[in-house]
Chain A
Amino acid sequence: MKRHLISAGDLSRDDALLILDTAEELAQVSQRSIKKLPTLRGRTVVNLFFEDSTRTRISFEAAAKRLSADVINFSAKGSSVSKGESLKDTALTLQAMGADAVVIRHSASGAPHRLAEWVDGSIVNAGDGTHEHPTQALLDAFSMRRRLGPLDGRRVTIVGDVLHSRVARSNVLLLATLGAQVTLVAPPTLLPVSVGSWPCEISYDLDGVLPKSDVVMMLRVQRERMNAAFFPSAREYSRRYGLDRDRLGRMPDHAVVMHPGPMNRGMEIAAEVADSPRSTIVEQVTNGVTIRMAVLYLLLGGAELEGGAQ
């Protein structure tokens, strides 16, 4: 594996499977009453969050702590960053403190690439602008695999604001690597103009795609997008691209519903769909911790997993 996890495209098929298999082993640990492993004892993981995202931060924090790493949470709010300190100065500070891994969330696409130029530790992209969110894609793949088995040939439909979605970009890349067939469904305004060059199919017709889907992943759609004329109204969006009970009924019986959260209930997904047994939404949160443990473990070359629980 490479030293950093910045893009899902950085992962070979073997890398991706290794992460998923390692997560599977670590999932066993999570079921024990004592969930902590000593493998990253003495290593420092910095959570560098320039954007509010409590759920992603605590997921990484829990993952690092379960591996016994020292965790430093560095939130841009209330720090020198909000007083105009540059990303580079923040990076140099972290470098001086000797961070072994930096988990970065930033509103600017490409911020993790820049950070990787300035610090020696491993960089884990926890979401950069509208670019990528590779650990989300890994936990999604992990969740799918647990429900459906190997992903080769599985048909995954991703619905919603692909243009602004880092989750969609990472998922398209990772799922293609893992041999799944991805179809993106969105109003044409919410697809990049160049989406035809991506390793996936495109459709504007959700109802046509649902019966052929093993997985339907709904993306969050911000209501404010309608102000920039991406779609006329929340109601029309919901009618054409929302997953409601009727549409759930058109999916094969084995097919699952996913959402990276946070959800707009009633907008892209109906409450009864989100809460149905077909939904993996709560599992995705649990699996998020597990997959992030696997990523940190593999990037930081932790001691043998067989060390057992403390």
Chain B
Amino acid sequence: MTAYLVKGASIVGGEPADLLIRDGLIVETGAGLTAPAGAETLDAEGLVALPGLVDLHTHLREPGREDAETVETGTRAAALGGFTAVHAMANTSPVADTAGVVEQVWRLGQEAGHCDVRPVGAVTVGLAGERLAELGAMADSAARVRVFSDDGKCVSDAVLMRRALEYVKAFDGVIAQHAQEPRLTEDAQMNEGAVSGRLGLTGWPAVAEEAIIARDCLLAAHVGSRLHVCHVSTAGSVEIIRWAKSKGWDVTAEVTPHHLLLTDDLVEASPAGAYNPIYKVNPPLRTREDVEALRAALADGTIDCVATDHAPHPVEDKEAEWGAAAMGMIGLETALPVVQLAMVETGLLDWAGVAQRMSIAPAHIGRVAGHGMPIEVGATANLTLLDPSARTGVDPGAFASKSRNTPYTGLTLPGKVVATFLRGRPTVLEGKLA
């Protein structure tokens, strides 16, 4: 395997240093290293080196919706976005609720080779919320599943949720809950508030998320289990999670880049036109106050990590009237730039904070070995090099993702991933797939 000498990168935003990468490891760090024979040198002056990003929440759509995304295209997008590991959500067709399906997804990831694919197992059979899927079989499979989620649907039955939380303790698993009280959100179309009232769209009230999070925190505390809350979207949810953490309960949470930047008034007025389903997502975009609370919570650690909820959809599923359009946005290739815009350029996080929330914390929550490690001698060489001074206009046509449903079209975002290394092998060089 080729050795690489990365020259002069700012290590998680700190002092510039050289990194020598060989045999999948960081073997030497320091100033003025010289390239050994056969090593390639990368001039990384002005670039920030981060531990390879880890996404806890990606929809790769395969098997079943290969028209929207495949493991191959989705992991290309991930690598270009600086990710070295992604968690593939279970709401495929067939659902990833057996060892067979999770192993298939895991193998597809291995074959593609752009980043590690960690399948998420469904909590309940067919995501139907009725009986537990064979969680242990998925945990013991080649895919070594540790994160279980019915994402897209909420495990709303309190007994089932309790049992799931308890059961996965045997293999150090975690239940990642999509917190959405189903009765309060029947036919819900967007955040319930002033905008939904004016637009005549059925509201998705904040309480439908908060009530489930509160219940699940109490359940997790009662049975002494680990709970992870997917895509937190409201200020009230932040308060509940802050309270649960103050009790010492093992609760973690994620926020998406889009919930850190976008608000529900875009549904009413945006350059893309009113009622443009490009802004339709679940949980929905909320208000400015929610965005501020989410940013503050990510900064102070109440929310542990950023997760993309990359949700590809083909054009025809979005070019429709609002009520008929699919929910979701792609996000792998814009996650780091949006976090730079919303968190770094606002002074809320430094690069070490970004490394914590986009690599170290998600790797820890997902129990992903070899990822989310500090950049030091002996660590696995999973690395992302970012040019924070770059400014790029978002062009959906340029994405590696098979889908184009980005809400950032036309926006100029800061930061560009220049290189990504997966166990010492470049998956991205000069901003292109290696």
Residues of A within 8 A of B (CB): 86-88, 106-111, 113-114, 116-117, 128-132, 166, 169, 192-195, 197-198
Contact = CB atoms under 8 A, between A and B. Distances in A.
A194 B199 CA distance: 11
Nearest to A6: B274
B198 interface: yes
Interface in B250-274: 273-274
Given A113-B275, A193-B205, A197-B194, A87 B321 contact: yes
Given A169-B200, A193-B205, A194-B194, A108 B273 contact: no
B319 A192 contact: no
B196 to A, nearest CB: 7
B323 interface: yes
B321 A169 contact: no
A132 B200 contact: yes
A223 B196 CA distance: 24
A111 B319 CA distance: 11
Contacts of B323: 107-110, 129
Taking each of B196, B203, B276, B323, which has the highest tally of chain A beta carbons within 10 Å of its own beta carbon? B323
27 contacts: A86-B320, A87-B321, A88-B320, A108-B322, A108-B324, A109-B189, A109-B275, A109-B323, A110-B199, A110-B274, A110-B322, A111-B322, A114-B321, A114-B322, A129-B200, A129-B323, A130-B201, A131-B200, A131-B201, A132-B200, A192-B197, A193-B192, A193-B205, A194-B194, A194-B196, A194-B197, A197-B194
Nearest to A86: B320
A192 B196 contact: yes
A109 to B, nearest CB: 4
A198 B205 CA distance: 19
Interface residues of B, number: 24
Contacts of A128: 200
Contacts of B319: 86, 88
Contacts of B276: 114
Contacts of B197: 192-195, 197-198
Contacts of A114: 273, 275-276, 320-322
A114 B276 CA distance: 7
A114 B321 CA distance: 6
A197 B201 CA distance: 16
A193 B194 CA distance: 8
Interface of B: 189, 192-194, 196-203, 205, 273-276, 316, 319-324
Contact of A131 (B199, B203, B273): B199
A166 B200 CA distance: 7
Given A131-B199, A131-B200, A166-B200, A110 B321 contact: yes
Given A114-B322, A197-B194, 17 more contacts: A86-B319, A106-B321, A109-B189, A109-B201, A109-B275, A110-B199, A110-B201, A110-B323, A111-B275, A111-B321, A113-B273, A114-B276, A128-B200, A132-B200, A192-B197, A193-B192, A193-B193
B193 A194 contact: yes
Taking each of B193, B198, B320, which has the highest tally of chain A beta carbons within 10 Å of its own beta carbon? B198
A244 B202 CA distance: 31
Contacts of A132: 200
Given A113-B274, A117-B273, A108 B321 contact: yes
A179 B193 CA distance: 26
Given A113-B275, A193-B203, A87 B320 contact: yes
Contacts of A195: 197
Nearest to B205: A193
A181 B321 CA distance: 33
A198 B203 CA distance: 17
Contacts of B200: 109, 128-132, 166, 169
Contacts of B196: 192, 194
B366 to A, nearest CB: 37
Contacts of B203: 192-193
A296 to B, nearest CB: 23
Contacts of A116: 273
A109 B199 contact: yes
Contacts of B322: 108-111, 114
A110 B194 contact: no
Taking each of B274, B275, B276, which has the highest tally of chain A beta carbons within 10 Å of its own beta carbon? B275
Among all A-B residue pairs, the 5 with the closest Cβ atoms: A110-B275, A192-B197, A131-B200, A130-B200, A108-B321
A113 to B, nearest CB: 4
A113 B278 CA distance: 14
Contacts of B316: 86
B277 to A, nearest CB: 8
Nearest to B203: A193
Contacts of B205: 193
A106 B200 CA distance: 13
Nearest to B316: A86
Taking each of A109, A128, A198, which has the highest tally of chain B beta carbons within 10 Å of its own beta carbon? A109
Contacts of B320: 86-88, 114
A131 B202 CA distance: 10
B204 to A, nearest CB: 12
Nearest to A193: B192
Nearest to A88: B319
Contacts of B275: 109-111, 113-114
Nearest to A50: B321
B290 to A, nearest CB: 15
A132 B275 CA distance: 13
A132 B198 CA distance: 9
Nearest to B202: A130
B188 to A, nearest CB: 13
A107 B189 CA distance: 14
A128 B324 CA distance: 13
Contacts of B202: 130
Nearest to A166: B200
Contacts of B192: 193-194
Contacts of B273: 113-114, 116-117
A113 B267 CA distance: 11
A229 to B, nearest CB: 10
A58 B124 CA distance: 52
Contacts of A108: 321-324
A299 B316 CA distance: 31
Contacts of A107: 323
A128 B274 CA distance: 13
Taking each of A88, A106, A169, A192, which has the highest tally of chain B beta carbons within 10 Å of its own beta carbon? A192
